[in-house]
């Protein structure tokens, strides 16, 4: 009987030990479950953060509005694939070889004066034929100086002293005229050649020394004439049925500012502002007055004027603004995309890649004004250098754009 009692007590003790052990294991399992869930949540957060960081590191100056200086350790792959074709024109290509002109500027006759066989004189022998070859070349270029003289006279009757008027662009004792100035502006702002290289080109072409500061001063001096053309551009943009708008960053004195563009297929206007938002577009002044259809990338500023990408954001934007996104299906003349504005901003990024930054805000604003005029001239097929000469000589942009 004692053995039975002992065995029963031993069994109870063993059972209680097992129950306690099971309870401890259950608590441990519950703890592990909680820790596992916490780790699962942290893992999801870290994955989302890594995805965001990877998306940011993949952005550079070639696929976003980031400035070139933000590119770090990016291995750039060739943008073009090998076509396997030989260099030069392909079979069937028309080519652009110069053709002979009917009225050349100069004629040089290469004569046959003596027979190579017998030595007889051929001076007065008529040629059997004349072979013609033409050489296209540049004339020798040099800096030309024009002296303007103004008469001052006194009237013998009333003794009033009066003087003739200089041309409006002759304001200093020594200065550069519209032709050389427009060429330098064309190099600097149309071809985006830096000031120093522009002065080197002047030296090479005409053997005339010019400083980089002179190039900057040329821009500043003639800017009021070009600013007058902006009013004509604004009128054309405000009258258009469809207006493309966008913005991109530009480094000015080491800090980010914003270039805002409003454009059509025929006209462009750039505006520089320290702000990207509504204050900037209000100050520039086009969007508050525009009444047509505005094409934009749905940046929050633009819908403020008129109500008619990560993939998830893009889908949410389409759901929220379905009517605006599909407007091109219902309204004739509204394009499918905003490529026009993006193309117009491309030269701003190219300028920044070449020069890096503008040292002064006024120079950046001047660039925007001149690029507005140049882009408009290019869109309408006008020769930029010749048109700039006309503008600096007092002709209006409207007259130039409507000339044949």
> Does residue 387 sit within a domain?
yes
pLDDT score of 179: 93
Q: What is the pLDDT of residues 185-243, one digit of tens each?
A: 999 999 999 999 999 999 999 999 999 999 999 999 888 888 888 888 999 999 998 99
Average pLDDT over residues 350-375: 91
**By the 8 A CB rule, do 239 and 264 touch?**
no
**Domain presence at residue 332:** yes
Q: Which of 65-74, 88-97, 160-169, 269-278 has the lowest mean pLDDT?
A: 65-74
Establish if 245 belongs to a structural domain: yes
Answer yes or no: is 393 within a domain: yes
The answer to the question of residue 351 being in a domain is yes
Range of the domain at 353: 178-402
> Mean pLDDT over all residues of the chain?
85
Per-residue pLDDT, averaged over 95-101, amounts to 83
pTM above 0.75, yes or no: no
Q: What is the pLDDT of residue 4?
A: 56
Total domains in the chain come to: 1
Digit-coded pLDDT (tens) for 306-319:
544 755 565 666 66
Mean pLDDT for the stretch of residues 37-51: 89
| Between 4 and 155, the higher pLDDT residue | 155
- Higher pLDDT pick, 339 / 298: 339
Q: Is residue 36 part of a domain?
A: no
Q: Has residue 321 been placed in a domain?
A: yes
Residue 92 lies in a domain: no
């Amino acid at each position: 009987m004692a053995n039975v009692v002992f065995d029963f007590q031993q069994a109870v003790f063993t059972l209680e030990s097992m129950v306690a052990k099971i309870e401890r294991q259950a608590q441990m399992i519950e703890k592990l479950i909680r820790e596992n869930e916490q780790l699962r949540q942290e893992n999801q957060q870290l994955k989302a953060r890594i995805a965001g960081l990877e998306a940011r590191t993949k952005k550079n100056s070639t696929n976003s509005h980031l400035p070139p200086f933000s590119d770090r350790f990016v291995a750039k792959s060739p943008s073009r694939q090998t076509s396997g074709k030989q260099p030069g024109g392909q079979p069937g290509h028309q080519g652009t070889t110069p053709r002979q002109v009917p009225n050349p500027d100069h004629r040089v006759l290469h004569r046959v004066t003596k027979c190579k066989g017998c030595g007889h004189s051929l001076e007065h022998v008529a040629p059997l034929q004349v072979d013609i070859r033409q050489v296209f070349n540049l004339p020798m270029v040099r800096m030309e100086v024009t002296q303007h003289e103004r008469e001052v006279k006194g009237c013998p009757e009333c003794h009033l002293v009066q003087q003739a008027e200089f041309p409006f662009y002759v304001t200093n004792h020594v200065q550069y005229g519209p032709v050389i100035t427009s060429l330098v502006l064309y190099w600097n702002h149309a071809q985006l050649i830096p000031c120093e290289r522009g002065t080197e080109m002047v030296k090479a072409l005409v053997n005339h020394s010019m400083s980089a500061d002179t190039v900057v001063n040329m821009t500043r001096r003639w800017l009021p004439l070009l600013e007058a053309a902006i009013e004509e551009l604004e009128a054309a943009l405000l009258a258009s049925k469809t207006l493309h708008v966008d913005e991109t960053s530009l480094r000015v004195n080491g800090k980010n500012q914003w270039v805002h563009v409003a454009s059509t297929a025929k006209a462009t206007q750039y505006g520089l502002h320290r702000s990207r938002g509504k204050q900037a577009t209000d100050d520039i002044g086009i969007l508050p007055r525009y009444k047509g259809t505005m094409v934009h990338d749905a940046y929050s500023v633009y819908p403020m004027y008129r109500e008619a990408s990560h993939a998830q954001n893009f889908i949410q934007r389409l759901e929220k603004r379905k009517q605006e996104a599909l407007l091109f299906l219902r309204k004739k003349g509204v394009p499918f995309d905003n490529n026009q504005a993006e193309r117009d901003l491309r030269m701003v990024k190219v300028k920044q890649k070449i020069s890096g930054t503008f040292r002064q805000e006024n120079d950046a604003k001047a660039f925007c004004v001149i690029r507005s005029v140049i882009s408009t001239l290019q869109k309408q097929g006008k020769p930029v250098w010749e048109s700039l000469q006309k503008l600096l000589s007092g002709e209006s942009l409207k007259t130039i754009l409507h000339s044949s």
